[in-house]
Amino acid sequence: MRFGTVTLLHGLFLGPMAGYTDYAMRTVCREWGAEYLTGEMISAKAVCFGDSKTKALARIRTEELPCAIQIFGHEPAVMAEAARRLSCGVEGGVAPTAIDINMGCPVHKIAGSGDGSALMRDPRLVERIVAAVKEAVRLPVTVKIRAGWDANTVNAPEVARAAEAGGADMICVHGRTRSQKYAGKADYRVIAAVKRAVAVPVVGNGDVTSAEAARRLLDETGCDGIMVGRAAVGNPFLFSEIAAMLDGKEPPVITSGLRLETALRHLRLAVEDKGETTAVLECRKLLGAYFAGYRGGSAARAALNRAATAAEAEEILRGVFSTPAAEE
């Protein structure tokens, strides 16, 4: 798969997820086969105001490339200025591979302000935003959209054409509407319709929870790439399983030892990036996902939620992975 200057062997993308896809998660997913990363979404207004927390979210290391920065907002001039400022990278980091525009976030505080998936309701504004960002940077500009606002306004092909008219280099489609949020099933027919509607590469997203699901997405949509989101939380191994399937090879055997080793690496990367106190607090929900299905998992998750140090979290992880995997 190719877009801009990016070439990907398998077209495997880690989807941007607020509160999840930080440096630690991105790195672990890259090590297990994610070829293209995207950071947590960033407020364009916050960038323009010089917010220090936003700068931390935007920091990309060399070893993460290719990695995009995703911005959200609805004012073309503000989006363009934010993209311009981020296009060269922030202090302590490198320039991103691309600027991605969030047109899919369904949460009320984002969509209710006219950002994220609210943009699906105004294709003309979509075109203006993409055009403004495209003019402001020399990087590829990509967009992430949903099927539509609700079941009565499934307009992803129209929005995709508007984004392409504005100069978008790639379009990612989540096969759910904004009203669905993350419930129900992703509609792959919508992704297929977007693929037919535009000439730029299309990446499919939604319900990719296994290599078999990834194959179904490709077969039913003809899309150029696969984006994995929530299914990668605690399971970065999914990328290597999909790659093996695409290569016609046997998937890797993921043992309890590998799960423990990867969870510990995730924790240590987070501590390195954010300091122990913040890392342990923010990693609780991510680390618990590594031992889903393990006997004693509920008690271990409760213990993790009380952990205050990395040593405590590590001890809990070692304890739960010392037992055989079994449904609780």
Check: CB of residue 173 under 8 Å from CB of residue 146: yes
29 is catalytic: no
CA dihedral sign, ordered 130, 99, 39, 251:
positive
Least Cα distance to 16 among 46, 39, 42, 36 occurs for 39
Helix (H) or strand (E) holding 13: strand 12-14
Tokens of 161: 């054409």
Name the β-bridge partners of 14: 228
Judge whether 49 and 79 are in contact, CB under 8 Å. no
How far, in Å, CA of 83 to CA of 62, rounded? 19
Q: Where are the alpha helices (DSSP H) in 204-307?
A: 211-221, 237-247, 256-274, 276-290, 297-304
d(CA 174, CA 85): 28
Beta bridge partners of 103: 145
Q: What is the helix (H) or strand (E) element at residue 80, kind and residue range?
A: helix 76-86
Label residue 306 exposed, middle or buried (CB < 10 Å: 0-12, 13-18, 19+): exposed
Q: Which of 29, 48, 67, 105 is catalytic?
A: 105
Report the DSSP beta bridge partners of residue 12.
226
**Active-site annotation, residues:** 105
